[in-house]
């Protein structure tokens, strides 16, 4: 569900013509719909109404301050994986008691900052990290609340780069090892054990792997309780998939109902860390055709956005639908929508039927709200593009286009290179 739709042949975001925004801010740009974001959060949240829960938005999926503020204002906490994400989230006004912090490589500085901020819990990913957090909390004369992130060894049936709960992945702690680490954690004076966590992967389109994960965690929680270790939070991570093309992921309502059913009898607060399902289909990337080019083998449509702006197609071979901003009567062609970056891997859509776009036309690359801007880079010294938020009939620039000056911010030429 989203609020990108045609009115008299023109693509609108809510009540605003996309073409008007392109005229005002130039291309390329990311465009988000407030109504879609709010609807997605409320639907997801409502799916768990029957059980005590906290929705911690995965900041990595879209970390713009305005998006964070919107989620927070709707009641969300955040799932963070770096000091930078902690900083952003605090700037956006998050309640530290709604912050969970995952990641296999937390630095000392990041850990200290999170302890000082008073976050809800660290999701610990190794025995060494447990020791380190305990030591740093001791130095700060306080206690750190923790969960162990379990690696439940479940195949989420998704792209290998975004599977995280298999034994061969770098994430989490082996479920057998976890028991030992919990016993040790209980003895550490600067650690307070509060939870069990896991996150098995992303863009998961079946319920099965989630239910399997809950079952494994439930078993572990029971074992811990027998040893007098009381678990207050069960964090299931994120991962619910969306429709990019033909996928049919479970509706959040069904996902929620199935999980809540599985959790009956367990006296915990459920934490979820959704990213993609909240923001993925709430955003698009708008780009303009610069040229078309026919080679003996192929038809290329060359646009002004590239793999530095949207990395997903190049990185994962992922599919994003391509829509015209102004509908016209015209043939379909089999083409590749490519960017200006000097790499053959620079494509937004590859060898696919699409409208025969002409130079000057605007193209909407759909489902780009998650892991779009947040994964963008300055490769080829391209300024990062603006982000725009539409609400009803108005649009707001929530991040300006970078300038060339900003591209070289922080760089300097040492004296010996003086001309």
The residues of the shown chain that bind ligand LLP, judged by CB under 6 A, are 58, 61, 79, 102, 162, 199, 202-203, 237-239, 273-277, 312, 316, 370-371, 375
In the block, which residue shows the tokens 């934490």?
A: 271
Q: Is 186 exposed, middle or buried (0-12, 13-18, 19+ CB in 10 A)?
A: middle
Counting DSSP H helices and E strands in the chain, the numbers are 12, 21
Shorter beta-carbon distance to ligand LLP: residue 158 or 287? 158
Task: Given the residues 13, 56, 268, 342, select the one marked as catalytic.
Answer: 342
Yes or no: say if 149 and 125 are a contact pair by the CB < 8 Å rule. yes
Instruction: Report in angstroms how near the CB of residue 138 gets to ligand LLP at its nearest.
Output: 26
Q: Compute the chain's Rg from CA coordinates.
A: 23
Shorter beta-carbon distance to ligand LLP: residue 239 or 256? 239
Whether 13 is catalytic:
no
Per DSSP bridges, beta strands 269-272 and 53-58 are: parallel
Handedness of CA 248, 168, 373, 304 (dihedral sign): negative
Instruction: Report in angstroms how near the CB of residue 389 gets to ligand LLP at its nearest.
Output: 19
Instruction: Report in angstroms how near the CB of residue 61 gets to ligand LLP at its nearest.
Output: 5
Instruction: Report in angstroms how near the CB of residue 403 gets to ligand LLP at its nearest.
Output: 27
Tell me the two tokens of residue 175. Answer: 């479920």
Taking CA atoms, 392 is separated from 6, 13, 16, 71, in Å, by 15, 8, 7, 18
Shorter beta-carbon distance to ligand LLP: residue 268 or 362? 268
Shorter beta-carbon distance to ligand LLP: residue 64 or 355? 64
Shorter beta-carbon distance to ligand LLP: residue 272 or 337? 272
| Interatomic CA distance for residues 173 and 253, integer angstroms | 30
Instruction: Report in angstroms how near the CB of residue 316 gets to ligand LLP at its nearest.
Output: 6
Query: 179: part of which helix (H) or strand (E)?
Result: helix 175-187
Tell me the two tokens of residue 51. Answer: 């059980």
| Catalytic sites, residue numbers | 342
């Amino acid at each position: 569900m989203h609020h990108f739709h045609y009115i008299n042949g023109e693509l609108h975001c809510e009540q605003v013509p996309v073409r008007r925004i392109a005229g005002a801010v130039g291309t390329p740009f990311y465009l988000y719909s407030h109504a879609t974001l709010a609807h997605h959060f409320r639907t997801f949240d409502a799916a768990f109404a029957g059980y005590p829960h906290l929705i911690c938005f995965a900041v990595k999926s879209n970390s713009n301050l305005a998006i964070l503020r919107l989620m927070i204002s709707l009641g969300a906490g955040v799932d963070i994986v770096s000091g930078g994400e902690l900083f952003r989230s605090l700037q956006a006004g998050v309640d530290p008691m709604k912050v969970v912090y995952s990641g296999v490589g937390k630095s000392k500085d990041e850990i200290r900052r999170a302890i000082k901020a008073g976050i809800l819990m660290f999701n610990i990913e190794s025995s060494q990290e447990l020791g380190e957090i305990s030591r740093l909390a001791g130095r700060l004369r306080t206690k750190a609340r923790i969960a162990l992130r379990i690696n439940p060894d479940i195949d989420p049936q998704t792209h290998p780069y975004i599977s995280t709960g298999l034994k061969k992945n770098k994430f989490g702690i082996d479920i057998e090892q976890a028991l030992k680490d919990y016993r040790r954690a209980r003895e550490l004076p600067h650690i307070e054990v509060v939870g069990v966590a896991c996150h098995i992967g992303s863009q998961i389109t079946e319920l099965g792997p989630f239910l399997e994960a809950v079952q494994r965690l439930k078993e572990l929680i029971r074992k811990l309780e027998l040893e007098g270790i009381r678990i207050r939070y069960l964090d299931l991570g994120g991962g619910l998939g969306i429709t990019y093309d033909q996928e049919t992921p479970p509706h959040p309502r069904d996902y929620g109902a199935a999980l809540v059913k599985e959790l009956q009898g367990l006296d915990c607060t459920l934490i979820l860390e959704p990213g993609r399902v909240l923001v993925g289909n709430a955003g698009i990337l708008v780009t303009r055709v610069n040229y078309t080019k026919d080679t003996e083998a192929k038809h290329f449509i060359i646009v002004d956005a590239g793999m530095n702006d949207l990395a997903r197609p190049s990185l994962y071979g992922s599919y994003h639908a391509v829509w015209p901003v102004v509908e016209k009567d015209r043939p379909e062609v089999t083409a590749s929508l490519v960017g200006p970056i000097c790499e053959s891997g620079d494509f937004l859509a590859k060898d696919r039927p699409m409208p025969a776009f002409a130079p000057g036309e605007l193209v909407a690359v759909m489902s780009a709200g998650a892991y779009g801007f947040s994964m963008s880079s300055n490769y080829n010294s391209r300024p990062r593009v603006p982000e725009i938020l539409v609400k009803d009939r108005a649009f707001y620039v929530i991040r300006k286009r970078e300038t060339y000056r900003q591209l070289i911010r922080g760089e300097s030429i040492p004296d010996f290179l003086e001309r």
